[in-house]
Structure 1
Amino acid sequence: MTTLAPPRVAVRHIGPPRLTKGLEGGARLGWDAHRALHPHPRPLTATELIALCEAGRLHGRGGAAFPFARKVKATADSAVRRRRRTVVVVNGTEGEPGSAKDKVLLQRAPHLVLDGAALAATALGSVEIVLAVTDEEAARSLDDAIAERGLGARARTVRLPEHFVTGESGSVIRGVNGSRPIPPGRKGRASTSGVDGLPTLLSNAETYAQLAVLAGLGPRAHARAGTPDEPGTVLLTVTGAARFPAVVETAAGAPLGHLLDLCGARAGEGVLVGGYHGAWLTGERASRTRVSRAGLAESGGVLGAGIVMPLGRGTCPLGECARVARYLAAESAGQCGPCRLGLPDVAGAFADLAAGRDAATARDAVRRAARMAAGRGACAHPDGSARFVLSALDVFADDVTRHIEDGGCGRPVRGVLPAGTDARLSLEVDWSRCDGHGLCADILRGTVRMDEHDYPVIPSEPIPDRLEADARRAVAMCPGLALRLVPRVR
């Protein structure tokens, strides 16, 4: 997976910094340095915490933007109803390519995240705080912070594998509980039954940091930045074609164009907002958009995971999107029809469109496959992926026409969008589902063979590019739904 490496990411701000105070130099804030910048939050009861979050209009910053006060209340009510203790979980997995904001907080400002988590844990009487991460440096930083605060057995970090769907709430709960971190087939609420079956308050790292800032400032001072409906600041990762990629903190409602200028980026033909489950905006529309949930929604975008990716003009937009579509198909959990069949169909059709192969038919196939996948998955991955590709067809309509009429646009694909293209695909088997039907060996003759027990022997090396289509067909046709394709770094 290609991601921004947080130690090399600049931290910038428009207006006075709050979450990123003291982070400009790139050093980690230890306990003493943190306390010199941020006051110790006053302990609150659950009722007081809910009132604070309602007054501060605090919403989750992991993508869904769910009101945090409602999460706290649901967890508290479940604990009372079930007569159980609670757990607080910090979701620091951030598996989205191009995102670095949560990693920067966990690596450089771990105590700010822990301030918010500890405030929630105290209010709910939680038995522990669990910090779920994928990044090794973030885990070390948090372990050091736990020791610096003397939290001992009251807080722990859990390392999870870095995949796109790992950050989904159900995946995190499954991973913390020791299962494979993929979205559960049956949707449930962590507030009802989460870690070890206990009522669990789960939100991402930035949300807990925002909670700490809100508690330190109070609702009135907190509202001096931002808009009346969305007070406070927003943390964004600006990457893509930006000359100076950075994690940027800005007041909600600031012009998106200011962020692009700050990072040496031009809107160009399109800007992706919200990450790979977000949406494309035309360059002209992006320049007029305000950075807030309402402002982005008005322009047809989403704040999502807080990612801004200007594309620039030197690369083929459809080629870039085809790479991402392929990545999203490979990163699914592979446990429902829209992910196992629909997303590979989207990726294949988009690749044909980008290459100018019967492009008109391919364009229609992308729309058809994306619409069929949306709203039918076990999690939001098909929905977000469909939003990405469908908005690309709309924003880059002129390029689509050129690919249909001329077989391409004449521009190279420079890999501006991080999409795991330094990886090839390997076959992976879920042995609990494999019944040894042998269809994969029939389709991939010479690559997959059957052993003496009539089970497939899967090669450890990546699938050759020339056999990728056959490999996808083997995955789609597996009667036991036991095969999936996963990226493998070259």
Structure 2
Amino acid sequence: MSAEQVPPVTAVGTPRITAGFDEYGRLDLIAHQEVHGGFAALSSGELIGLADRIELRGRGGAGFPFARKVRAVVDSCRRQELPPVIVVNATEGEPPSWKDKAVLTRGPHLILDGAALAAAALDAEEIVIGVADDGVGQESLAAALAERKMPAPTRIVVVPHRFISGEGGALVRGINGEAHIPPGRKVRSSENGVMGLPTLLSNAETYSQLAIAARLGPWEYNAVGMPEEPGTVMLTVGGSATAPAVVEAPSGTPLMEVLEMCGADVGPGLLVGGYHGKWVTAEQAKTIKISRKGFAKVGGTLGAGMLIPIGSKTCPIGEVAQVVQYLAGESAGQCGPCRIGLPDLARAVTLVALGGNAVKEVRQAAGLVKGRGACSHPDGTGRFALSALEVFKADVEAHANGEGCGKSVRGILPLPYTAEKGARKLALDWSRCDGHGLCSAVAPEIIRLDHNGFPAFPQTPLPPWLEDGARKAVNVCPALALRLTEPTPAK
């Protein structure tokens, strides 16, 4: 993966965060200053006041008010008599999302401006910027840091490009040298974050929006977008779009306007909010205005701004099954709902895709993991699967009848690993298998036994971090029935 894979960037109306991208491609410090100009430093009170007036919320998915985060850190610093750490989450580990990477590769100084504003206002001990190990943005960020002086020592921390590595608690753990997985209990980074210090953590777009607001001031910033949700929103449009792009649009822009400018065939449904988001129907999509409130009206979520139309030529159930299998493999493996429950959910959804009447099993598996995980991963995965059953009801019925929907799985929902990219799959020789069950005992996160006592597992490529477990299952099979396939050579 490289910076060349970042989709094109465009805007509805006058761009703010993406200003200068068309003219300069990537903005170095001189170009950045020419396009955006300078800004004045803020006190902690002024920083909180600005964030409050522009209704700034985190753009990483949760939408938590930024001003409340800053207040919590300030209060914690005073109470503990400790300096804070500023953390920028630029990991963007979710496969369909590119908005933060677009800014990271083409406008990195805007992210650094926002981090610098916060660090100066709070007199921070350090600034830490988390990026993924996928090779996108790290070089651009390092070059930007070399061009300027930051108000506090600043370092880049590279984390594994996994779905769960960008979760706030997982990122803090990774920065602290621990496993890059969410903590097993609720830990507030504002109280105990990087190196045990109060930590202000938000994502790359959030800091970029802060930098824009510091230059414009609240009145001019709020002149664009909806009064209750002012400013612009960064979106990633993929899926069936013939011209996939990262789009900057004012809040309140009709969703269909953005989809049409990207040549999107919505088909029967649209995924909003990413792989922890929700599917909405094509009819619902026509009513949505881009905002948290607009998506909430149809039971959806803006999340991190991912819009993925499925298209009319794609088998939605097959695509959904592959993603649920991927999400099951993304488990941190530290609690039962993830380690056991998500593979059960993946198998049930796969059975629906293969023509089985397993809707009841899907609902049961999703219900068993709801609200029971150590993080939001089980709930988000269940929501993704259950909403697909509702939106693609006609396709589910067609599969259950054994006829299938007549459409193919085309990889419309992107995955970070495929057979062509070097991933392996488990394969079973049914003529050899005697149902000993040892494989499921050593690798329960991959293999479970079906009602007849034979192994059942996803037919999609294995995540690299599950290969060791799969290899153990192969090695313990007394009948030599299991094997790992070799990767498909790249063409």
Please tell me whether residue 63 in structure 1 is matched to residue 61 in structure 2. yes
Whole-Å separation in 2 of the counterparts to 1:388 and 1:129: 34
Of 95-104 and 32-41, deviating more is 32-41
Q: CA deviation at 1:419?
A: 2.4
> Residues of 2 paired with 1:146 and 1:250: CA distance?
28
Which runs of 5 or more structure 1 residues have no equivalent in the other structure?
A: 428-437, 449-461, 476-484
Give, as a single letter, the amino acid of the residue that structure 1 aligns with 2:169: G
1:71, distance to aligned residue in structure 2 (A): 0.2
C-alpha contact 2:124 2:152 (8 A) present in aligned 1: no
Between the aligned partners of 2:151 and 2:52, the Cα distance in structure 1 is 31
CA distance in structure 2 between the partners assigned to 1:404 and 1:331 by the alignment: 28
Which amino acid in 1 is paired with 2:12? Answer: I
Gap runs ≥5 in structure 2 = 427-436, 448-460, 475-483
Q: Aligned residue for 2:98?
A: 100
How far apart are 1:63 and its partner, in Å? 0.3
TM-score, scaled relative to structure 1? 0.86
- AA in 2 matched with 1:355: L
1:80 maps to what in 2?
78
1:140 corresponds to: 139
Q: Verify the 8 A CA contact 2:99 2:234 in the aligned structure 1.
A: yes
**Equivalent pair of 1:289/1:295 in contact (CA under 8 Å):** yes
**Equivalent position amino acid for 1:390 in 2:** L
Alpha carbons of 1:441 and 1:375: their partners in 2 closer, same or farther (altered >3 Å)? closer
Percent identical among aligned pairs is 53
- Say which of 389, 406, 409 aligns to 1:410: 406
- After TM superposition, the structure 1 = structure 2 runs for residues 220-231 of structure 1, keeping only pairs within 5 Å, are 220-231=219-230
CA RMSD for the aligned pairs? Answer: 2.7
1:47 is paired with a residue whose SS is: helix
User: Matched residue of 1:24: which SS?
Assistant: helix
- In structure 1, the residue matched to 2:250 is 251
Which deviates further from its counterpart, 32-41 or 204-213?
32-41
- Structure 1 SS opposite 2:51: helix
3-state DSSP class of the match of 1:350? helix
- Matched residue SS, 1:327: helix
Residues 265 and 75 of structure 1: CA distance in aligned 2, closer, same or farther (over 3 Å): same
Kept in 1: contact 2:116–2:151 (CA 8 A): no
Asked if the contact 1:143–1:156 (Cα under 8 Å) also holds between the matched residues in 2, the reply is no
Aligned counterparts of 1:183 and 1:392: Cα–Cα separation in 2: 26
Whole-Å separation in 2 of the counterparts to 1:76 and 1:345: 44
Write out per-residue CA displacement over residues 33-74 of structure 1, whole angstroms, 9 at most, x where no aligned residue. Answer: 000111222111111110110001000000000000000000
Q: Secondary structure at the match of 1:184?
A: coil
- Matched position secondary structure for 1:384: helix
Residue 217 of structure 1 deviates from its aligned partner by 0.7
- Find the residue that maps to 1:291 and give its secondary structure: coil
Aligned to 1:209: 208
- Secondary structure of the structure 2 residue equivalent to 1:377: coil
- Could you say which residue in structure 2 is the equivalent of 1:455? none
Letter aligned with residue 116 of structure 1:
G
* Amino acid aligned to 1:394: E
Contact 1:336 1:377 in 2 (8 A): yes
Question: What do the CA deviations read for 1:411-462 (whole angstroms, capped 9, x no partner)?
Answer: 11111110246144679xxxxxxxxxx9559768xxx9xxxxxxxxxxxxx8
Aligned to 2:124: 126
Query: 2:229–2:251: 8 Å Cα contact kept in structure 1?
Result: yes
Residue aligning to 1:393: 389
Q: Deviations over 1:151-199 (max 9, x none)?
A: 3971110111100000100000011111111001121011001100000
Which residue is 1:236 aligned to?
235
In structure 2, the partner of 1:294 is 293
Runs of 4+ residues deviating >6 angstroms: 441-444, 472-475
Tell me which residue corresponds to 1:323.
322
User: For residues 170 and 206 of structure 1, do their structure 2 counterparts lie closer, same or farther at Cα, with a shift above 3 Å needed?
Assistant: same
Provide TM-score, normalisation by structure 2.
0.86
**Are the equivalent residues in 2 in contact too, given 1:240–1:310 (CA < 8 A)?**
yes
